[in-house]
Amino acid sequence: MGTHRDVELLAIGAGPANLALAIAIEELAGDDLARDSLVIEQADTVSWQRGMLLPEAQSQVSFLKDLVTLRNPRSRFSFVNYLHSVGQLSEFINMGSFWPYRLEISKYFQWVANSLAKVRVEYRRRCGTVEPRRDANGAVTGWLTRLSDGSTIGSRYLVVGAGRDPFVPTEFATLPAHRVVHSSDYLPRISQYPKDVPYRVAVIGGAQSAAEMFDAVQRDLPGCRPTMIMRSIGLKTYENSRFTNELYFPSAVDDFFTARPEAREQILREMHITNYSGLAPEMLEKLYRQLYLDRLTGEHRLRIVTMTDVTAACDDGDEVVLELTDRRTGAVDELRCDLVLLGTGFVRQMPALVRSLANSLGLSRIDVTRNYRLRVDGPVTGACYLQGVNEATHGIADSLLSVLAVRASDIVEDILANRDTDGAEPMAAHLAPVHAS
């Protein structure tokens, strides 16, 4: 039988959201809360976009939008201080770029985890389920988190920041696991395939992750013949004007949260191309040059197929057969390949862990306050906060680095303001629904 322990605050996932939270706890809360706060991570290290830590990949977000600077520019946890501490500041300045490499951001996050003085981070702690704890009157007093090793952790406060679940379209769900690789698992999986086999590779998707895999697999499997398949008319860049970028300011969250539903829908619709379904300009230019040279040299190894749906997929012995339907003509063709790479993003609905918790609470829908607190029916003395899954109510930046520092303070200040209450939820006037499914 597993062990049990109690903490005041448990944060699930040591990604950037909960690392920003840990910093805010250390800088804004008292020692008693900070030293009784725990962050658990299922992996054995902190890593950002672990499956896509490609050598040349850069962030699309300014280094000043780190885990703390927009909240406290004098914090010792800033990205600039990290660069100084590892002797890389002068070189970074000399690069003359606002956009760090993904790899150095990931190293920065690990440095932050290692630098925390009070909040603990524990690795190899995979969360299985979470359920509410109730007193004799049925009031929610906290949470019981069950880990995969059989141990349990009780907490008054719970912060879920584990990210969304990878999206695997139903057409690919029944294929053998060794034939399909989602972008979130690209690097560890692609290293398992022998480099001297001339794989026929199908890359599904037309956005940044698909483009990065289309590019990377040419290096990782040198003899491969990749085909990129997308529903859109072609690859396109993100829309990133300075005017639309203002909707990524932390201050834009209030305007979005208080907007009417139809206004929110318009904003998300028009902002879609700023974060989804596009590529960084440098990547688009690189792919076009690859295709140009491929045609120029007569190799004809690279292929991009546009306006096409994958309407079926099946395993046929030693290969996968994809049924391709042309969106322009309705014509049906097939593509035979050895490996399918999915740049299909993540499930838009709430993560399975959150939906399971909502079911155990008997919630008909998942609602959060402006300060990211999950609404629970009836009196509560514990609280659960959701990070990175509230785009529908908090705007386009919710899943990105842009708002992490300020959001962390919103959550910590909400905890501190309500820490001594023992009655009904005091934030009811500020509730708004997140689309649950």
Query: What is the predicted pLDDT for the residue at 434?
Result: 41
Query: What is the predicted pLDDT for the residue at 427?
Result: 39
Contacts of 351 (CB under 8 A, 6+ apart): 160, 162, 163, 164, 165, 389
Query: What is the predicted pLDDT for the residue at 191?
Result: 95
Contact 58, 51 (CB under 8 A): no
Query: What is the predicted pLDDT for the residue at 256?
Result: 96
Query: What is the predicted pLDDT for the residue at 1?
Result: 58
Query: What is the predicted pLDDT for the residue at 424?
Result: 42
Q: What is the pLDDT of residues 363-415, one digit of tens each?
A: 999 999 999 999 998 889 999 999 999 999 999 999 999 999 999 999 999 99
Look at domain 170-237+278-342 and name its CATH class: alpha beta
Quick one: tokens of 184? Answer: 């979130």
Contact 436, 349 (CB under 8 A): yes
Percent of the chain scored above 90 by pLDDT?
89
Query: What is the predicted pLDDT for the residue at 425?
Result: 45
Contacts of 45 (CB under 8 A, 6+ apart): 110, 123
Quick one: pLDDT band at residue 175, thresholds 50, 70, 90? very high
Q: Which CATH architecture has domain 4-165+347-433?
A: 3-Layer(bba) Sandwich (3.50)
Query: What is the predicted pLDDT for the residue at 421?
Result: 66
* Mean pLDDT of the 200-211 span: 96
* pLDDT tops 60 at residue 423: no
Query: Do 4-165+347-433 and 170-237+278-342 come out as alike in CATH topology?
Result: yes
Query: What is the predicted pLDDT for the residue at 426?
Result: 42
* Mean pLDDT of the 306-318 span: 94
Give the number of residues written for the chain. Answer: 437
Query: What is the predicted pLDDT for the residue at 263?
Result: 97
Helix then strand then coil, in percent of the chain rounded to 5, is 35, 25, 40
Query: What is the predicted pLDDT for the residue at 428?
Result: 38
Quick one: pLDDT band at residue 431, thresholds 50, 70, 90? very low
What mean pLDDT value characterizes the chain?
Answer: 93
Q: What is the pLDDT of residues 247-295, one digit of tens each?
A: 999 999 999 999 999 999 999 999 999 999 899 999 999 999 999 999 9
Opening angle at CA 161, ends 346 and 283, nearest 5: 45
The structural domains of the chain, with segments of one domain joined by +, span 4-165+347-433, 170-237+278-342
Which residue, among 278, 267, 277, 276, has the nearest Cα to 244 in the 3D structure?
A: 267
Query: What is the predicted pLDDT for the residue at 420?
Result: 76
Worst-scoring range by mean pLDDT, 119-133, 301-315, 401-415, 417-431? Answer: 417-431
